[in-house]
Structure 1
Amino acid sequence: MEDIKKIFAFAREYHYKLYLAILLATSSVLLGIVPFYLIYKIIMAFLTESVVETSYLFIMSALILILLLAKSYLFLQAMRASHETAFDTLMGMRKSMAEKLIRMPMGEIKAKSSGQLKNIIVDMVEEMELILAHLIPEGVSYLIVPILLIIYIFFLDWRMALAALGTVPISLIIFQLMMKNSQERLEYWFKAGERMNSNIVEYISGMEVIKIFNQTTRSFAKYTDSVKDYEKYTLEWYRESWSYMAAFYVILPATLIFVVPLGAYLYLQGSLNLANYILIMMLAMGLGDPLSRLARFIESITMLKRKSKAINEVLSGPELELRKNELKPANYDISFNNVSFAYDKEEVLTKVSFTAAQGTVTALVGESGSGKSTIAKLLVRFWDPKSGKIMLDGVEIKEISFANLMEAISYVSQDIYLFNTTIRENIRLGNPQATDKEVESAAKLAQCHNFILELENGYETMAGDAGNKLSGGQKQRISIARALLKDSPIIILDEATAFTDPENEDRIQAALNGLISGKTLVVIAHRLSTITEADNIIVMDQGQISAQGTHDELLVSSEIYQRLWQAHLEAMEWNIKLEEAESYV
């Protein structure tokens, strides 16, 4: 129950509404019992009085109607208060989870698929509404009222009180049989649901590739199998449980099963008077509905506990060490001192040391998987090193507040993401205070102004989900414009021109060259011709620095760089031949 208690903690700010909901819900259930008492009074009037006035019956009927209306009204107000609490709390939970994701290392976030995170943040958090809006106010009221009724019946006759509770142990035995191996079953059911969610998200995201290669839902086995597995397991579990469930919900509220025969026996024996016998039967009938409704919540607790655990795993996950200070570097020299890093157990950087001085260009080159992008991501604190230090102006970057560190760095990743808003606002993310003119100036420098004007609504064109209305090269240039607009003293380009054509790449490179005066520029390059003028080129090999120096120095001293340069020249020659061939077509 500890995980559910943590969910309750989010409702602390709205506890007064929650208490009000409990009070109103309990009052509503109590009012629902009173008509049974009034019916008892009517029956007794017919049994004890020779004549029952019509006016008396009208008054009693009117009271029953008023009580039932009052019951409904109080329940409505209880649900209003509890749902306000619930949705305010869900908002707080989602905000906390969003803030938590910002503080978490990217490795922890990437350990879960987007489908899993969507399932937790959207679906599972939404289902916490059952706890806050229903389980607390209704569950408490359905627990309090039966207890009060049983106490009252005990006061009337303890034997009849035990008879009224006779269905409870039988129902509990059935419930235990129904829940046999439920923990293992529930774990598999959740994992099957997570797999299905992940595969659905992957299927939708990869729709273009699926269509190109003619992969329908039938032939896209990963998607189809996960859906069928979830359906098969869920139905099998339900089929095994249906009989038990039906028996449980039939027997539990059938409180008269033992009350009627035992009461009749005691009445005939003379140890129970008729008035109490009739009253206890009426109260026992009123006991059935709250018990049945309470059981529905008890049934949900196991599932809610599992979902609460998943939510709390995210909320209690590891965080980066974040400082809150106003420390800002005076200069922007970057140095890596014996930095090592591992994704889980696989080490990808080993004792990497280098300096990128302010006002210089430092390029990182190497084969795929050599650790180039990891260096860039460590610098922007997507992760922290396993050992060693990353320094900025002689201060370890962990000692600088995350906000000030991010203010100092413009990072253009090879994994580009555009939000589903206008092109203008996607660029303005680099500097929310920028004017339209400044946005367009940055777009011109990034060589994307002309193609933006050719779009249907120019700068007001929506980029689409994840920028899906634009090509890879267009998205890349917009992300570069965003970074240029930010105008930070440190610029990191992680293969930022990978999707641009050679003509635009040269223009972007010229624009960047004009902006790097006095800045620290770190470039991860796939086209070596773009970094031949770099002040220092670092050659990475299997997570270590193999060599570093200028382009001319490395052509002499580094076999790896020679091999990379030769491969680049051959690729350039191949592109030229292709262009010549196309000119003859």
Structure 2
Amino acid sequence: MHNITARLNISNAKFIRSTLYAVGEAFLNGAPLGVIYAVLITLLSPSAPSFNVTIAIVMLLACFTVQAFCSIRSHKLVCEYAFELGSRIRIALGEHLRKLPLGTIFSRDSGHNVETLLLDVTNVELTASHIYNKILSCIAVPAMIAVIMLFINPFMVLLLLSTLPPALIFLYLSHKKMDMLGGRMLTARKDSTARIIEYIHGIQTFKTLNITGRAFSRLTNTLQHLTSNSIRFESFIWPVTELYAFTASLGIVCILYVGGTHFIEGSLPLFQFLLFMLVALRFYIPINSVGPYISTLSYLKHSADNIDALLSSPEQTGSITSFPQDFESIAFRNVSFAHGSKQILRDLSFTAGQGTVTALVGPSGAGKTTIANLLIRFWDRQSGTITIGGTDTQTLSPDTILQNVSLVMQDAYLFNDTVLENLKMARETATESEIMQAVEAARCKDFIDRLPRGIHTCIGENGALLSGGERKRLSIARAILRDAPILILDEATAALDTENERLVQQAFSAVGKGKTVFIIAHRLSTVRNADQILFIEQGQIAEQGTFSELLKLNGRFAHFWNLQHAISQWKLRRSNDCEASAA
């Protein structure tokens, strides 16, 4: 955990103060033994000077009062430290994830990301707020008792400590396997979270295919794997901690046997023998608690390692924060990109002038969306250059690029909030007048007025209260409100009916005025008016030109256009109609 606090520059002052209070509490835990010792001497040794009981009671009350104060202060300070630490870590993780390339994020299972933000941070909070202080207390209290008792009888203190070395050696030798099993259980929990998220997101598909419940083997197998790993971890931990406690507690037997023998022989006073018997019971309670805390710590340590590993993932570079104004063009020069072993783009080059519309079309998997992702630095290219007004995008801060791009995707995500708040995410400073202008330009006003509370209606998770076309138009309103110089439309009219497509096309006309626009589309009829069309195939530009030029070329674009035109004429016929036609 030290790596995390150092990386985030978090002050440990509260933790240190809490530790000092915990040490004070531990000292006061042992202080009453001195009072008990004085009372025993008075009661069991006739030659001992008398002891004032009132003074003893006052001393005990003072010890208990100060001990309670130290305990409360220690707990308050360590909890403040732990929850501030957790808050700082969550914010840092969220900010760091935002600055990572999508490739790094997608290479991790979504469940692992969720568990790191939730479970791992909670485990670090638990470690800081309870585990460290508990372990410290379990060590400090017996240590303080041993120091105090040394002044009474050093030989009996050695007997008290004699069983600790073998117990601690046993715990140390078991630590490696505990660490391994704890890591496996934590990984199994993250895999289970990933499968549960997948199950929830895909519930409609699972129902359609009738693979819900136990029939969904991916989920059930993962949960069974978690169960077996959890049982394996606990089945190892508890015998280890119990054997550790058993070995340590044998010191009580040593005190009873050796101390009893010395008492019978007359070399050990009765009050010392009784005192050490009482002390032994108090001494081994915290000692025996160390085992479970150490085993828990070995499990929680993996959470801190996971957080540190994610925070160590390299962020995207780029320090220039001034975006090129009035740029002449956006240029790709010999750009190549591979995802893992799969080559997506190969030596791709083209130029898009400012204020023009460039359409990217072609078969699925050709690399159209990848081109847009490279432009806005969702991914970083592996070779070649991408420039905006002559400035290499990899020298620009990713935030600077994104502040100057409006993106309308096929599946535009809407948050579980009001229409107004969803719109204001594009530009928080937008006035009511600007918002309403964007709403009207995106053809959203009609359906917003029908909502129960209008623009202040909460639309549910991912806009559950809206239709697909309404969600799309709302995302276009956000793009209009953002008013960025570059606009990317990624399959923005896919899966829309004719009326919604007409409305969305009208909205595009409003949002694209004066912008440099990139349209990614399968439906070729939507790119008729593009200034240039790039037909992408196997990561390269197979054909380039205007709509009419590409049709005259009678190449791959024309072939796709003819196919789509033929499909648009396709009708479902009944078998008897087909037989009649054949006759």
TM-score under structure 1 normalisation? 0.91
Partner residue, 1:333: 329
Q: 1:46 aligns with which of 43, 57, 70?
A: 43
Task: After TM superposition, give the deviation of residue 179 of structure 1 in Å.
Answer: 4.5
Q: 2:233 aligns with which of 237, 240, 264?
A: 237
Partner residue, 2:366: 370
Distance 1:196 1:92 in 2: 26
Structure 1 residues 332 and 509: alpha-carbon distance in aligned structure 2, compared to 1, 3 A threshold: farther
Distance 1:190 1:155 in 2: 47
Partner residue, 1:419: 415
Task: After TM superposition, give the deviation of residue 177 of structure 1 in Å.
Answer: 6.5
Q: How does 1:89-100 map to 2 (within 5 A)?
A: 89-100=85-96
Conservation of the 8 A alpha-carbon contact between 2:256 and 2:277: yes
Structure 1 residues 270 and 12: alpha-carbon distance in aligned structure 2, compared to 1, 3 A threshold: farther
Task: After TM superposition, give the deviation of residue 166 of structure 1 in Å.
Answer: 2.4
1:196 equivalent to 2:192? Answer yes
Structure 1 residues 234 and 514: alpha-carbon distance in aligned structure 2, compared to 1, 3 A threshold: closer
Larger displacement relative to structure 2 (141-150 or 203-212): 141-150
1:64 equivalent to 2:60? Answer yes
Partner residue, 2:158: 162
Q: Secondary structure at the match of 1:28?
A: helix
Partner residue, 2:178: 182
1:6 equivalent to 2:3? Answer yes
Structure 1 residues 114 and 35: alpha-carbon distance in aligned structure 2, compared to 1, 3 A threshold: same
Distance 2:13 2:28 in 1: 23
Q: How does 1:92-171 map to 2 (within 5 A)?
A: 92-154=88-150, 156-171=152-167
Q: Which runs of 5+ in 1 are unaligned?
A: none
Structure 1 residues 201 and 273: alpha-carbon distance in aligned structure 2, compared to 1, 3 A threshold: same
Task: After TM superposition, give the deviation of residue 391 of structure 1 in Å.
Answer: 0.3
Distance 1:353 1:449 in 2: 41
Conservation of the 8 A alpha-carbon contact between 2:442 and 2:506: no
Q: How does 1:410-559 map to 2 (within 5 A)?
A: 410-557=406-553, 559=555
Task: After TM superposition, give the deviation of residue 14 of structure 1 in Å.
Answer: 3.9
Question: 1:146 is aligned with what amino acid?
Answer: P
Distance 2:353 2:9 in 1: 50
Distance 1:469 1:339 in 2: 42
Q: How does 1:248-327 map to 2 (within 5 A)?
A: 248-253=244-249, 255-268=251-264, 272=268, 276-327=272-323
Q: Secondary structure at the match of 2:569?
A: helix
Distance 1:575 1:485 in 2: 41
Structure 1 runs, 4 residues or longer, greater than 6 Å off:
50-53, 575-578
Partner residue, 1:349: 345
Larger displacement relative to structure 2 (518-527 or 504-513): 504-513
1:481-504 deviations in whole A, cap 9, x for unaligned? 101111111111111121332223
Q: Which runs of 5+ in 2 are unaligned?
A: 578-583
1:117-152 deviations in whole A, cap 9, x for unaligned? 111111110111122212343433433443344345
Distance 1:137 1:6 in 2: 19
Q: Secondary structure at the match of 1:574?
A: coil
Distance 2:65 2:511 in 1: 74
Structure 1 residues 79 and 339: alpha-carbon distance in aligned structure 2, compared to 1, 3 A threshold: same
Q: Secondary structure at the match of 2:484?
A: coil
Conservation of the 8 A alpha-carbon contact between 2:479 and 2:511: no
Partner residue, 1:35: 32
Distance 1:548 1:576 in 2: 35
Partner residue, 2:14: 17
Structure 1 residues 238 and 366: alpha-carbon distance in aligned structure 2, compared to 1, 3 A threshold: same
Distance 1:176 1:402 in 2: 48
Task: After TM superposition, give the deviation of residue 576 of structure 1 in Å.
Answer: 11
1:383-409 deviations in whole A, cap 9, x for unaligned? 110111110001101222333322221
Structure 1 residues 254 and 205: alpha-carbon distance in aligned structure 2, compared to 1, 3 A threshold: farther
Q: Secondary structure at the match of 2:286?
A: helix
Q: Secondary structure at the match of 1:521?
A: strand
Distance 1:168 1:102 in 2: 49
Q: Secondary structure at the match of 1:313?
A: helix
Task: After TM superposition, give the deviation of residue 476 of structure 1 in Å.
Answer: 1.6
Q: Secondary structure at the match of 2:213?
A: coil
Partner residue, 1:389: 385
Structure 1 residues 127 and 237: alpha-carbon distance in aligned structure 2, compared to 1, 3 A threshold: closer
Distance 1:178 1:557 in 2: 74
Distance 1:206 1:535 in 2: 39
Structure 1 residues 256 and 514: alpha-carbon distance in aligned structure 2, compared to 1, 3 A threshold: closer
Conservation of the 8 A alpha-carbon contact between 2:178 and 2:295: no
Task: After TM superposition, give the deviation of residue 196 of structure 1 in Å.
Answer: 0.7
Distance 1:187 1:298 in 2: 14
Task: After TM superposition, give the deviation of residue 331 of structure 1 in Å.
Answer: 1.7
Larger displacement relative to structure 2 (220-229 or 142-151): 142-151
Distance 1:95 1:247 in 2: 42
Conservation of the 8 A alpha-carbon contact between 1:253 and 1:287: no
Task: After TM superposition, give the deviation of residue 116 of structure 1 in Å.
Answer: 1.3
Task: After TM superposition, give the deviation of residue 29 of structure 1 in Å.
Answer: 1.7
Q: Secondary structure at the match of 2:533?
A: strand
Task: After TM superposition, give the deviation of residue 413 of structure 1 in Å.
Answer: 1.9
Partner residue, 1:573: 569
1:385-442 deviations in whole A, cap 9, x for unaligned? 0111110001101222333322221111223211111111112212211122322221
Distance 1:160 1:324 in 2: 71
Q: 1:26 aligns with which of 23, 37, 40?
A: 23
Question: 2:213 is aligned with what amino acid?
Answer: T
Distance 2:106 2:485 in 1: 29
Conservation of the 8 A alpha-carbon contact between 2:171 and 2:244: yes
1:261-304 deviations in whole A, cap 9, x for unaligned? 22333445565555554554444444323323433332222112
Partner residue, 2:580: none
Question: 2:245 is aligned with what amino acid?
Answer: Y
The Cα RMSD (Å) is 2.8
Larger displacement relative to structure 2 (327-336 or 337-346): 327-336
Q: Secondary structure at the match of 1:468?
A: coil
Task: After TM superposition, give the deviation of residue 52 of structure 1 in Å.
Answer: 10
Identity value in percent: 32
Conservation of the 8 A alpha-carbon contact between 2:363 and 2:522: no
Distance 2:273 2:374 in 1: 77
Conservation of the 8 A alpha-carbon contact between 2:386 and 2:393: yes
1:211-264 deviations in whole A, cap 9, x for unaligned? 344443222222222222211331243234433333333443564222232233
Task: After TM superposition, give the deviation of residue 455 of structure 1 in Å.
Answer: 2.1
Q: Secondary structure at the match of 2:31?
A: helix
Conservation of the 8 A alpha-carbon contact between 1:10 and 1:93: no
Larger displacement relative to structure 2 (476-485 or 507-516): 507-516
Q: Secondary structure at the match of 1:181?
A: helix
Partner residue, 1:81: 77
Conservation of the 8 A alpha-carbon contact between 1:445 and 1:508: no
Structure 1 residues 559 and 249: alpha-carbon distance in aligned structure 2, compared to 1, 3 A threshold: farther
Conservation of the 8 A alpha-carbon contact between 2:111 and 2:193: yes
Q: Secondary structure at the match of 2:462?
A: helix
Structure 1 residues 378 and 497: alpha-carbon distance in aligned structure 2, compared to 1, 3 A threshold: same
